[in-house]
Amino acid sequence: MTRRHPWNVIRGLLVLALLLADLPAWASSLAAWRLTREGALELRTSPNVRPEAFFEDGSRLQGPRVWVDLPGAPSRTRSIRGSGEVREVRIGKPTPTTTRIVVEFRPGTDLDPADLRLVGTSPDRWKLEFKGLKRVVVLGLGEGDLDGTAVVSVPPASFPTASTPLSADGLPVVPRGRFRVVIDPGHGGPDPGAVGIRGLRETDVVLDVSLQVARLLQARGVNVVMTRTSEVDVDLPPRVALANRVGADVFVSVHANALSMARPDVNGIETFYFSSGLSRRLAGSLQGQMLAVSPGSPNRGVKQGRFFVIRRTVMPSALVEMGFVTGALDAPRLADPAHRRRLALALATGILQYLGGR
């Protein structure tokens, strides 16, 4: 009897508008794939996909299988002969609107579903390692341009509409189409960040605010790139790599602070930069605007910090802490959609002020 294990289903990719004219026509959301000599499946995908990954045990006559389902059916189905412990790779169409890539292993291959994890290595790349394979896979097993790069931007229509419509009226004006800004909502997916009063999760706060910031900046003609737009696990190096690759003018990482549930008296707003004077100016602009919409919140200042995402980005960068999810003053505000809209307006204003003063 076989057992099926839905494992680590990662819901959602970063919503990024890729220029897809160069992608092959054989799949609407699976742009490219390959099996590496080290025994890893690497995928390149198109925007807005919701991949689901599954594992099925093998038997004496049939080896284990791993497959990933993505939206959008391929133009044709096919099978590709494998090597080593990989018997075959198949591209199928289980439904008229689904692409399925199946990696079938030879009988006797030992895979532990607990070791299988589909990880986003950058906004449009996924990697799944098959640990413990005894015989490597030959190079060249794959299809499509996995290493291709594309200009990344986010159109305003990609963002959910806030419960109360936001307006860019009154925000500083900058030349349309001149600037590119990367917004980095901290944490995500299995990492919720800090969890505070009444279960308030940092990831929920920062993603909501970040999406609204992006929409406001787009309304002012700024090209916005986001490191994530849903609850997906993105490691720190890919966030930095994305910002450096697209040539961003500004990088802003959005967070909420925490201390201890036993210290609700600790509240306040702070912003970090790493070294440059431009980064400090950006941080100061963001800090001032957040304080202006958060009366009574302590000013914890603009500080130097060594956070990876602001230390390794090559453009002016800042990391904002919008308040404490464990704070008696800050937590109710961060949980309030109206205050989150005010914070989004504040951050958008701070970014536009900085860009306009360059």
Residues spanned by CATH 2.60.40.3500 within the chain?
4-143
Question: Which residue has better confidence, 27 or 353?
Answer: 353
What's the mean per-residue pLDDT of the chain?
Answer: 82
The CATH classification number of 4-143 equals 2.60.40.3500
Please give the pLDDT value at position 254: 98
Whole-angstrom Cα distance, residue 11 to residue 158? Answer: 17
Sheet holding 299-304, edge to edge: 223-226, 180-185, 250-257, 317-324, 269-273, 299-304
SS3 283: helix
Residues spanned by CATH 3.40.630.40 within the chain?
152-356
Average pLDDT for residues 61-70, to the nearest whole number?
A: 88
Query: Does the structure show a pLDDT above 50 at 152?
Result: no
Query: Does the structure show a pLDDT above 90 at 72?
Result: no
Query: Does the structure show a pLDDT above 90 at 186?
Result: yes
Per-residue pLDDT tens digits for 285-343: 999 999 999 999 999 999 999 999 999 999 999 999 999 999 999 999 999 999 999 99
Q: Cβ neighbours of residue 184 under 8 Å, at least 6 residues apart?
A: 210, 226, 227, 228, 239, 243, 251, 252, 253, 254, 309
Q: Are 124 and 44 in contact (CB under 8 A)?
A: yes
pTM metric for this prediction: 0.59
Q: What is the DSSP letter of 343?
A: H
Query: Does the structure show a pLDDT above 70 at 195?
Result: yes
Q: 152-356: which CATH number, 3.40.50.11540, 3.90.1300.10, 3.40.50.300, 3.40.630.40?
A: 3.40.630.40
Please give the pLDDT value at position 30: 84
Separation in Å, CA 346 to CA 4, 35, 80, 339, 351 = 48, 46, 53, 10, 9
Per-residue pLDDT tens digits for 80-128: 888 788 888 999 999 888 889 999 998 888 888 878 888 877 667 788 8
